[in-house]
Structure formats: structure tokens, C-alpha cells
């Protein structure tokens, strides 16, 4: 399989996957989802690879799922929404479920589904100037993989998820426990590779079993069950149709997301 939307390479015992649609801030479309899964499978099958590093080409890690390229609203009801959201959920969680540890090197924008993809990695290195966020509620959507409450405190998670914050800076994300390290612009990938190199230098069996134990502990605490329940809630949110949602979707389709958000903001400012 040749790749158009991701890059695949190795540096020593570290496998790298790059999101590679820089002209649209690496927005995640169906083709990227398929190619990413194949790239990840190749690294998992390669006995030389012990750690995987995710990164993004161009100006951003990723702006999230591409609403203009097949990742927008199905019109066939909740069954179609469930299939669409399950596909996106599995795309994110395949990194969490993979048998090898991973590090996300993020820069520019790391928003919505891309933020969730980064959180599914074991560690995150962020360049200064990176913007994080979960803006879904601002345009009437839900989170695909609600990892955030498991990665930070409930108060911080509520602040981001219930306000639709999408300009969280790297330094505050680090203080929230969402980022391991903040490094100068242009140094994110090198810092992530250095962190991966420290894991490669450790005993691989001990690293794998320790990581498995950490994940198992979170599942015992109920993480997987909570994520599945949140996914069902997202199906309900996305399938809800009312006059405001219909008008928002009409404007988004005709004029773009920015115009739709401006319309919705104007509704809330009305006396």
C-alpha cells in the first residue's frame, strides 16, 4: 500500500508516522484514517520497532476531522451516525490499544479529534505556540473519544469540554497534566524522538508489561466503559435535529463553519 496522506519511516528502533495533508492542516479524512491504520499495523508487525512517534507535516499536527471531506453529517439518522462515530472512535483508540508505546509530537494546532488522537498516545511533546482544544459543543457536536476527563482533573476537563475552548496554550496544557514537555518551536519532533529513545534504551519486556498494567488499571477503573457510554451520548447529540441545528448545518454547508459559528454566536448575544 502506497501512502498519500501519511508518511512512514524508521529511525533506529523508533517508527514514525506523519500526518501529511499540510494544505488543510492535516485534517483527518477517510483516506488518512485507512492509511494511518495500515502504517500503524506495519510498525506493530516490525520487530525492530519498539516505540512509535506521531507527528504532523506543515504548520500543524492536525486540526481534527475534516468536515468537508466525508467526515461531516450523515443524513440517514442515528444508525449512520453510529457507524461514522464508531469509525472515528476506533481510529483514535487504535493507538491506545496498540501493543507498543507511542509519543505524539504536536505543533501549531492540535484540535478536537486530533487532540484525542494525541491523548491516546502515552506521552505528548508540544512545541511552544501549540493550541489545543475540544470545540465540539460550539457547533452542536460531542467528543468522539472522551479521554480528557481521564487525562486531567474533572474541573479542567469540564472547563475545556463545556465551553468549547480551542485556544488552550501548550504551557497551560502542561500545567493541566496533558503535556509531558513544552519545547521551543521547531524542536518538537527531536524532543519526542529523544523521549522515545529513552524508552528504547530500557528493557522492552518491562516497558511493555508496565504499560499494559497502567492501561489495565484504567480499564478496571472504568475508562473503557465510560468511553463507550460517551460515544453513545455523541450518537444522540449528533442525531438530534431541531430548527437551530438545521439552520446551523445549512449555513455551514453553504458558507462554511466560520459563518455558521458567527451565526450561532449572534443567537446567544440576542437580548
With H, G, I as helix, E, B as strand and everything else as coil, classify residue 60. coil
Considering the candidates 116, 127, 134, 238, report the single residue annotated as catalytic: 116
CA separation for the pair 148, 161 (Å, rounded) = 8
Angle, helix 223-239 to helix 204-220, in steps of 10 degrees: 60
DSSP-derived letter for residue 8 is E
Residue 4 annotated to the active site: no
Q: Which of 68, 76, 79, 80 has its CA nearest to residue 30?
A: 68
Strand boundaries in 57-208, DSSP class E: 102-106, 109-111, 123-127, 131-133, 168-169, 181-183
Considering the candidates 35, 71, 127, 136, report the single residue annotated as catalytic: 136
Residue 136 annotated to the active site: yes
CA separation for the pair 210, 149 (Å, rounded) = 22
- State whether the Cα torsion 190-13-120-140 is positive or negative: positive
Q: Is 239 exposed, middle or buried (0-12, 13-18, 19+ CB in 10 A)?
A: middle
Name the residues annotated as catalytic.
116, 136
Amino acid at each position: 500500500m502506497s501512502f498519500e496522506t501519511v508518511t512512514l519511516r524508521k529511525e533506529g528502533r523508533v517508527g514514525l508516522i506523519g500526518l501529511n495533508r499540510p494544505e488543510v492542516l492535516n485534517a483527518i479524512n477517510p483516506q488518512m484514517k485507512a492509511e494511518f491504520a495500515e502504517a500503524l499495523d506495519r510498525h506493530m508487525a516490525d520487530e525492530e520497532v519498539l516505540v512509535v512517534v506521531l507527528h504532523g507535516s506543515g504548520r500543524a499536527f492536525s486540526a481534527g476531522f475534516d468536515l468537508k471531506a466525508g467526515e461531516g453529517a450523515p443524513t440517514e439518522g442515528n444508525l449512520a451516525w453510529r457507524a461514522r462515530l464508531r469509525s472515528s472512535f476506533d481510529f483514535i483508540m487504535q493507538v491506545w490499544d496498540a501493543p507498543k508505546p507511542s509519543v505524539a509530537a504536536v505543533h501549531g494546532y492540535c484540535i478536537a479529534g486530533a487532540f484525542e488522537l494525541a491523548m491516546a498516545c502515552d506521552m505528548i511533546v508540544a512545541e511552544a505556540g501549540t493550541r489545543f482544544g475540544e470545540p465540539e459543543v460550539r457547533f452542536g457536536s460531542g467528543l468522539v473519544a472522551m479521554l480528557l476527563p481521564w487525562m486531567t482533573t474533572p474541573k479542567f476537563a469540564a472547563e475545556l469540554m463545556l465551553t468549547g475552548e480551542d485556544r488552550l496554550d501548550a504551557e497551560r496544557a502542561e500545567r493541566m497534566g496533558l503535556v509531558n514537555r513544552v519545547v521551543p518551536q521547531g524542536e518538537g519532533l527531536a524532543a519526542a524522538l529523544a523521549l522515545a529513545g529513552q524508552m528504547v534504551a530500557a528493557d522492552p519486556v518491562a516497558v511493555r508489561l508496565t504499560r499494559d498494567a497502567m492501561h489495565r488499571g484504567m480499564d478496571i477503573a472504568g475508562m473503557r466503559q465510560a468511553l463507550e457510554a460517551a460515544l453513545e451520548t455523541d450518537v444522540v447529540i449528533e442525531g438530534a435535529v431541531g430548527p437551530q441545528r438545521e439552520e446551523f448545518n445549512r449555513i455551514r454547508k453553504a458558507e462554511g463553519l466560520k459563518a455558521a459559528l458567527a451565526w450561532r454566536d449572534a443567537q446567544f448575544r440576542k437580548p
